[in-house]
């Protein structure tokens, strides 16, 4: 249906373009007036007025139609005596009704379902008809309005540009809408989560075991269960595990990345630089799932083997393997940024140092790096935020159980791993377990936001200093 409508709107728009173009030409010849714009702009004007309002309406309608129909149908089913305890059962009944309507349901059909399916058919019909009528109404209204405008010889080029500029502005607003979407979707579920679990229990609890949160309905839990729940969502082991793996990653990435950056900025010939820089940046372009696979199937077992030979017990999902591979992934983030930062240190500082007899490395260590320090710290912070938000490596190579440990040979878990583990497969909506994933997401979002903000400020301040 929607495709037919879009097709019709397109046809109307194209024919209106030619109509508008020829119409204004004839008007100008017949009445012998000078047009305020080239005839084609009148065509464009009509096209924009014909298509944009109708398409926007169609989009908004299509977004809300299923939701509205669903709530109406569930309500009618309830009025007819269907019983359901929570949202999940209501959804199930709705799916059944839909399947009956489409003729793809083969279970038992009782009278309630049958009535509801008829009601569903009726509403679908009603909604489709009113959609078509409204869209044609909108097209007719906007075409009449715009035709009247062009008959009055409006400044079509300017008007078209105003509309297009509006379109450009709306496109740039999508970034804001995305941010708002992220914040609302995270907050919405997190607020529900924190209405069951005290925020302090979450922030300072030392035990994370969401699988214990089997209770579905938050309103009907007993005091004992509540105590249990309170104890199941402690954030401390997760943040500890996340920081620990990120720390190992930084132990790998910072020295290697920084030294590579220094070498490329200060020592390497143009030729070496031109070859090695893109090759190192390949490391940032490899999908993280590939690193995860490598860490889980090659590095993890390799470390365990080495550990066995040395008489150590190494978990095959050790924090060391995940951290090491993550560190390698992050090398180019540190090296490229610090390369840029070091390059923008003014040559005069170096020349001054050489003039008093310092060697190249002394100049780098005592002049260039201190001068570039804010920028380097910024690039390291960006790398840290990359490390704590990284998902696939830790999902595949780090553990699932939340251990509080500082032994790199044991397994630990991270925030992102837990989000994936909770949300993968079928979830019960409205259970504290599912909601906890959103709370974790919110925490992660805020943490990376703060890190990025500080990092960007540091880099920007530093740039301004030498510009």
Partner 1 sequence: MTKEERLKKRNRAEKRFRFYGLTSILVALLFVVILVQNIFSKGSSAFKKTVITTEVFFDQELLEIQNGASQDEIIEADFYDIMIENLIKAYPAKDREEEDQLLKLFSGDAEIEIKKVFLKDNNLIGKTITLDLTASDDIDQLHKGNYPRDLPEERRRISDFQLVIYDYFVENKKISKNFNNYFFNNGDSRDPELAGIGGALVGSFYSILICLLLAFPVAVLASIYLEEFAPKNKITDFIEININNLAAVPSIVYGLLALQILLATIQLPRSTPLVAGITLALMTLPRIIIPCRASLKAVPPSIREGALAVGASKFQSVFHHVVPLALPGTLSGTIIGLAQALGETAPLILIGMVAFVVDIPSSPVDPSSSLPVQVYLWSESAERGFVEKTSATIMMLLSFLIVMNFIAVYLRQKFEKRWN
- Applying the rule CB under 8 A, the residues between 362 and 391 that interact with partner 1 are 362, 364-365, 382, 385, 388-391
Query: Which positions from 324 through 343 interact with partner 1, judged by CB under 8 A?
Result: 328, 331-332, 335
Judged by CB under 8 A, the stretch of 75-83, 312-320, 342-350, 436-444 that binds partner 1 is 436-444
Identity of the residue, 143 or 316, whose beta carbon is nearer to partner 1 in the bound complex:
316
Q: Which of 199, 227, 219, 258 is nearest to 379 (CA)?
A: 258
Judged by CB under 8 A, the stretch of 27-35, 142-150, 225-233, 445-453 that binds partner 1 is 445-453
Structure tokens at 124: 């679908």
Q: Which of 411, 441, 230, 445 is nearest to 313 (CA)?
A: 411
Q: Which of 254, 260, 202, 211 is nearest to 231 (CA)?
A: 202
CB 447, CB 239: distance < 8 Å = no
Q: Which of 4, 282, 310, 356 binds partner 1 (CB under 8 A)?
A: 282
Task: Name beta bridge partners: 208.
Answer: 233
Identity of the residue, 360 or 461, whose beta carbon is nearer to partner 1 in the bound complex:
360
Q: Write down the least CB distance from residue 25 to partner 1, Å.
A: 21
**Can you tell me the distance from the alpha carbon of 22 to that of 409, in angstroms, rounded to the nearest whole number?**
78
**Can you tell me the distance from the alpha carbon of 231 to that of 226, in angstroms, rounded to the nearest whole number?**
9
Q: Write down the least CB distance from residue 451 to partner 1, Å.
A: 9
Q: Which of 56, 68, 286, 306 binds partner 1 (CB under 8 A)?
A: 286
Identity of the residue, 91 or 405, whose beta carbon is nearer to partner 1 in the bound complex:
91
Identity of the residue, 23 or 192, whose beta carbon is nearer to partner 1 in the bound complex:
192
Count interface residues toward partner 1 (CB under 8 A).
91
Which single residue is written with the structure tokens 């066995």? 308
Identity of the residue, 42 or 143, whose beta carbon is nearer to partner 1 in the bound complex:
42
Judged by CB under 8 A, the stretch of 17-25, 133-141, 273-281, 314-322 that binds partner 1 is 273-281
Q: Which of 22, 128, 206, 361 binds partner 1 (CB under 8 A)?
A: 361
Query: Which positions from 86 through 145 interact with partner 1, judged by CB under 8 A?
Result: none
The answer to whether 63 contacts partner 1 (rule: CB under 8 A) is yes
The answer to whether 179 contacts partner 1 (rule: CB under 8 A) is yes
Q: Which of 270, 178, 208 is nearest to 400 (CA)?
A: 208
Identity of the residue, 26 or 456, whose beta carbon is nearer to partner 1 in the bound complex:
456
Write the DSSP string, 418-437: HHHHHHSS---TTSHHHHHH
Q: Write down the least CB distance from residue 408 to partner 1, Å.
A: 19
Structure tokens at 331: 């090398």
**Can you tell me the distance from the alpha carbon of 113 to that of 83, in angstroms, rounded to the nearest whole number?**
11
Write the DSSP string, 380-419: HHHHHHHHHH--HHHHHHS-SS------TTS----HHHHH
Judged by CB under 8 A, the stretch of 121-129, 144-152, 177-185, 348-356 that binds partner 1 is 177-185
Q: Which of 7, 33, 66, 204 binds partner 1 (CB under 8 A)?
A: 66
Judged by CB under 8 A, the stretch of 10-18, 52-60, 63-71, 111-119 that binds partner 1 is 63-71
Identity of the residue, 203 or 449, whose beta carbon is nearer to partner 1 in the bound complex:
449
Q: Is 245 left (phi over 0), alpha (psi -120 to 50) or beta?
A: alpha
**Can you tell me the distance from the alpha carbon of 179 to that of 177, in angstroms, rounded to the nearest whole number?**
5
Q: Write down the least CB distance from residue 222 to partner 1, Å.
A: 29
Query: Which positions from 7 through 36 interact with partner 1, judged by CB under 8 A?
Result: none
Vertex 412 angle, CA 408 and 415, to 5°: 130
**Can you tell me the distance from the alpha carbon of 292 to that of 44, in angstroms, rounded to the nearest whole number?**
52
CB 207, CB 232: distance < 8 Å = yes
């Amino acid at each position: 249906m929607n495709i037919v409508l879009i097709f019709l709107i397109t046809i109307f728009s194209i024919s209106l373009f030619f109509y508008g173009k020829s119409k204004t030409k004839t008007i100008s010849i017949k009445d012998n007036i000078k047009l305020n714009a080239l005839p084609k702009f009148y065509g464009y004007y009509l096209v924009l007025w014909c298509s944009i309002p109708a398409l926007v309406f169609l989009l908004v309608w299509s977004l809300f139609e299923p939701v509205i129909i669903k709530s109406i149908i569930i309500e009618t089913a309830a009025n007819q005596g269907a019983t359901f305890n929570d949202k999940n059962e209501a959804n199930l009944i709705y799916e059944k009704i839909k399947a009956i309507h489409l003729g793809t349901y083969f279970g038992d059909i009782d009278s309630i379902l049958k009535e509801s399916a008829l009601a569903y058919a009726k509403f679908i019909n009603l909604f489709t008809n009113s959609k078509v009528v409204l869209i044609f109404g909108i097209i007719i209204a906007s075409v009449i309005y715009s035709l009247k405008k062009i008959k009055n010889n409006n400044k079509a080029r300017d008007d078209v540009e105003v509309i297009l500029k509006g379109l450009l502005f709306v496109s740039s607003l999508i970034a804001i809408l995305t941010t708002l979407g992220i914040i609302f979707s995270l907050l919405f579920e997190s607020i529900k989560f924190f209405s069951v679990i005290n925020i302090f229990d979450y922030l300072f609890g030392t035990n994370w075991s969401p699988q214990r949160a089997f209770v579905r309905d938050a309103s009907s839990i007993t005091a004992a269960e509540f105590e249990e729940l309170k104890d199941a969502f402690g954030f401390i082991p997760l943040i500890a595990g996340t920081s620990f793996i990120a720390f190992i990653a930084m132990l790998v990435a910072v020295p290697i990345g920084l030294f590579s950056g220094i070498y490329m900025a200060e020592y390497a010939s143009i030729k070496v630089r031109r070859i090695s820089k893109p090759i190192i940046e390949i490391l940032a372009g490899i999908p993280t799932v590939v690193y995860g696979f490598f860490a889980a199937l090659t590095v993890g077992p390799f470390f365990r083997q080495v550990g066995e030979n040395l008489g150590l017990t190494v978990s095959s999902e050790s924090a060391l393997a995940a951290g090491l591979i993550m560190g390698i992934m992050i090398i180019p983030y540190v090296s490229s940024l610090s390369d840029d930062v070091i390059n923008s240190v003014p040559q005069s500082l170096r020349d001054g140092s050489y003039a008093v007899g310092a060697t190249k490395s002394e100049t780098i260590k005592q002049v260039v790096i201190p001068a570039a320090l804010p920028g380097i710290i910024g690039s390291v912070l960006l790398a840290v935020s990359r490390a704590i938000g990284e998902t696939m490596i830790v999902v595949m190579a780090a553990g699932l159980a939340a251990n509080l440990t500082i032994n790199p040979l044991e397994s630990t878990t991270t925030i992102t791993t837990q989000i994936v583990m909770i949300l993968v497969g079928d979830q019960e909506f409205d259970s504290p377990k599912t909601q906890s994933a959103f709370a974790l997401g919110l925490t992660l979002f805020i943490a990376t936001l703060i890190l990025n903000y500080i990092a960007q400020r540091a880099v920007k301040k530093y740039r301004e200093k030498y510009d």
